[in-house]
Amino acid sequence: MTDGLAARLPLDLLRERNLRRLFCAQAASVLGSSMMPIALSFAVLEHGGGASGVGLVLGAQTAPLMVFLLAGGVLADRWGRRVTMIGSDLVRAAIEITVVVILLTVGMPLGGFVAFAAVLSVAAAFFHPAFHGFVPEVVSGKRLQEANALGSTLNSIGSLFGPAVAGALVAWTEPAWVIAIDAATFLASALFLAGVRTSSSATDPAREDESFWHQLRHGWREFSSRTWLWSLLAYTSLASTFVLGPVMVLGITFVGGKENGAAQWGTVMAAQGVGSLLGGFVGMRLRFRRPLLASVFCTFGLGAFAGLLALRAPVYVLVVGSLLSGAGFALLHILWTSSLQADVPSDAMSRVSAYDGVATVLSMTVGYWWAAPTADRVGAAPLLWFGVVWTVASAAVMVTLPQIRRSAPGAEKGGGDDGVTAEAREPSTAR
């Protein structure tokens, strides 16, 4: 049975030293980062910040992303992605170690926690565009979708187990020690990344002397010149604002009563994590001749989930809807990322993915902000039904676009049969 499972999953990708180390770095980073919100929240509470303080600190982790993601994308393309990622990991580890020492000795006021969260977010804004641009340097062609699917699965596993581990550790010891573990995962990630070797640079030497703003504008031209890219990003961003935001904000009010509503909603959200794993497995095994068209229909699980909430369906039905929603968004991310990496020039990859990141963060933030006030005016159920109608209507518009109906973008750029780039291919016995 184990052999059969291995045959169905692209675990042979891990035989390549560079890919193995890249995924180990990602796994370490995701596990630590998924533990951080729990540890940080309890640390704020322990130091008298209260619930409003927790909200302020968690918000400080989001706002800088909208500002610094674009800068991170430009500098990652300029400095080199591996160097940028290692630098981001080391900066975050150093900051967290400093904060741990402060927490264990003199304590920290709320303003210190806000500053800590904001600086962490700035450093993360440099890592994410660099990572998305670095993957095609290590794997390409036919294996790119499989590599992204494997990475998505690692993200899902880390997001499932990280908060649970953090909760158990906080109950057993101080939140500061959980932050210390997160710092250790950043150091481990930097160590793994230091061992990744590619013989060619994705940076265009002709652009090395260009100014920051010139390179930022060049990234915008690469982004805006691709109708499939900006139209699909607009589609998914508006789905996050009009559908996902209200579902996440209003969902718990439709589940259970005062005594067991939180536990039941937790079960529903856990099903979304399981769905993300399933979406990752589908992305590993299935190849789509028209991945952009398939991406459009990946939002239907979220629309169905919103409709089930509006109908006040029983919890076991909501679990199914949540699972479909998680699977759809995971597969959407895999298809989107693979199409982006296949079609965008390597030297502009991080800048273009940064525009994606800004749109994603902004749309989610607006979705969280507008849902509750709007529901107070029109009612929660009508707002959720609006999300259902939006899902269907916007998908109907998207499928009329020729650029969305075409075959996989960048297919003509595919690499060798194994999909591992010649620069990154090394004997699996290398240490």
As a whole number, mean pLDDT of residues 150-162 equals 80
The per-residue pLDDT for 325 is 95
As a whole number, mean pLDDT of residues 167-196 equals 91
The per-residue pLDDT for 11 is 63
Same domain as 279, residue 186: no
pLDDT at 216 over 60: yes
Same domain as 242, residue 167: no
CATH number at residue 398: 1.20.1250.20
Same domain as 236, residue 105: no
Q: How many domains does the chain have?
A: 2
Identify the weakest region by mean pLDDT among 52-66, 85-99, 247-261, 385-399.
247-261
Instruction: Give percent above pLDDT 70 in the chain.
Output: 86
Confidence of residue 199 (pLDDT cuts 50, 70, 90): low
Who wins on pLDDT, 261 or 12?
12
What does 145-194 look like in DSSP terms, one character per residue? Answer: HHHHHHHHHHHHHHHHHHHHHHHHHHHHS-HHHHHHHHHHHHHHHHHHHH
Same domain as 364, residue 325: yes
In a domain, 416, yes or no: no
- 138's tokens: 């290590």
In a domain, 217, yes or no: no
Same domain as 387, residue 350: yes
Same domain as 402, residue 292: yes
In a domain, 220, yes or no: no
The CA-based angle 198-360-406, given to 5 degrees, is 70
- For the chain, what is the mean pLDDT? 82
The per-residue pLDDT for 39 is 87
In a domain, 263, yes or no: yes
Same domain as 357, residue 236: yes
Q: How confident is the model over 325-339, as pLDDT tens digits? A: 999 999 998 898 888
In a domain, 204, yes or no: no
* Cβ count within 10 A of residue 19: 24
The per-residue pLDDT for 201 is 54
Identify the weakest region by mean pLDDT among 106-120, 236-250, 280-294, 312-326.
280-294
Same domain as 10, residue 113: yes
Measure the CA–CA gap between 76 and 82, rounded to whole angstroms: 8
Measure the CA–CA gap between 77 and 130, rounded to whole angstroms: 7
Confidence of residue 86 (pLDDT cuts 50, 70, 90): very high
The per-residue pLDDT for 262 is 59
Measure the CA–CA gap between 308 and 163, rounded to whole angstroms: 27
pLDDT at 140 over 50: yes
The per-residue pLDDT for 98 is 96
Measure the CA–CA gap between 381 and 258, rounded to whole angstroms: 19
The per-residue pLDDT for 422 is 38
Measure the CA–CA gap between 355 and 422, rounded to whole angstroms: 29
Go through 205-236 and write b for each residue having 16 or more CB atoms within 10 A of its CB, e for each that does not: eeeeeeeeeebbebbeebbeebebbebbbebb
Backbone angles phi, psi at 288, to 5 degrees: -105, 125
Q: How confident is the model over 348-364, as pLDDT tens digits? A: 888 888 888 889 888 88
Same domain as 29, residue 121: yes
In Å, how far are 46, 82, 194, 284, 292 from 417, measured between CA atoms? 55, 25, 27, 16, 23
In a domain, 429, yes or no: no
The predicted model scores a pTM of 0.74
Measure the CA–CA gap between 349 and 137, rounded to whole angstroms: 10
In a domain, 26, yes or no: yes
pLDDT at 77 over 50: yes
As a whole number, mean pLDDT of residues 212-241 equals 88
| Nearest alpha-carbon partner for 359 in 248, 249, 229 | 229
The per-residue pLDDT for 177 is 93
pLDDT at 411 over 60: no
In a domain, 361, yes or no: yes
Measure the CA–CA gap between 413 and 136, rounded to whole angstroms: 11
| Nearest alpha-carbon partner for 92 in 43, 42, 127, 62 | 127
Confidence of residue 207 (pLDDT cuts 50, 70, 90): low
User: What range defines the domain where residue 139 resides?
Assistant: 1-144+154-198
pLDDT at 211 over 90: no
Do 335 and 236 form a contact (C-beta atoms < 8 A)? no
Same domain as 135, residue 49: yes
Measure the CA–CA gap between 249 and 368, rounded to whole angstroms: 6
- How many residues does this entry show for the chain? 431
Tell me which residue has tokens 């499932």: 160
Measure the CA–CA gap between 234 and 237, rounded to whole angstroms: 5
The per-residue pLDDT for 357 is 84
Who wins on pLDDT, 110 or 372?
110
The per-residue pLDDT for 299 is 95
Measure the CA–CA gap between 380 and 364, rounded to whole angstroms: 18
Same domain as 185, residue 111: yes
The per-residue pLDDT for 297 is 95
As a whole number, mean pLDDT of residues 411-426 equals 44
As a whole number, mean pLDDT of residues 126-134 equals 86
Same domain as 22, residue 170: yes
